[in-house]
Amino acid sequence: MKKLIAAALVGTMVLTMAGCGSKTAETTGSEASSDAAGGTLVMATNAEFPPYEYYEGENVVGIDADIAAAVADKLGMELKIEDMAFDSILPAVTSGKADIGLAGMTVTEDLLENVDFSDTYAHATQVVIVKEDSDIASPDDLEDKKIGVQLGTTGDIYAGDIKDATVERYNKGFEAVVIDGEPAKVFVKENEGLKMLDEAFTEEDYAIAVAKGNDELLDKINTALGELKDSGELDKIVDKYITAE
């Protein structure tokens, strides 16, 4: 993984990644549960996005995985995590192959045309990673540059608005480079020769994607999230993976 991102950066002046997360905890490809109480809650994610979702041994762990597990527990359901390409998550949710999508997913007007989102559970910033000797000092310097993004992410969307920029799209986050702030810290720490620009590229909110019209499940998820926030459990989950600097 370290070699891949380093190699991508050598050939790419700027990288941007995404919001954007068992191969499941046991990937079987079974259909999602049809009801919102009891049974299995299937979560679609792209486990290339630490600290939100990543592999620890054979298991997918991270902020999103723990939040989904806590929500499933409150719904009296068993969580099953399906790992897939980032741009396959929403189709999995809309087709019913997954009940929810969690992968550092940003609420946008375009996405709201296809899915519904829960209440926000995290705030994030998109940042830019460059080589340490790059002359790019801020997002304003990205015009006319070659920018790497993770396919289907908000970084992909925003990079397309940069004047005269060449956008190269990759399937995995660690091959890229407009990316969310916390994952960016991990990539920079693990790969020599990279740095993160001080100025944020964008500000955004994360939420849980649910099939459009599945109001019963959405209401139960929002109730569970509210309880997790009020009890402080949500903050504990985030603090477990993100420590103050």
Determine how many CB atoms are found less than 10 A away from the CB of residue 219: 13
- Determine the Cα–Cα distance for residues 4 and 230; give it in Å rounded to an integer: 41
Determine how many CB atoms are found less than 10 A away from the CB of residue 144: 11
Phi, psi torsion values for 237, nearest 5 degrees: -65, -45
Q: 3-class DSSP state for residue 44?
A: strand
pLDDT of residue 58: 95
Per-residue pLDDT tens over the stretch 144-183: 888 887 777 777 777 888 888 888 887 554 446 777 888 8
Per-residue pLDDT tens over the stretch 108-126: 888 899 999 999 999 888 8
pLDDT of residue 147: 85
Parallel, antiparallel, or unpaired for β 178-180 and 54-56? unpaired
Per the prediction, the chain carries an average pLDDT of 82
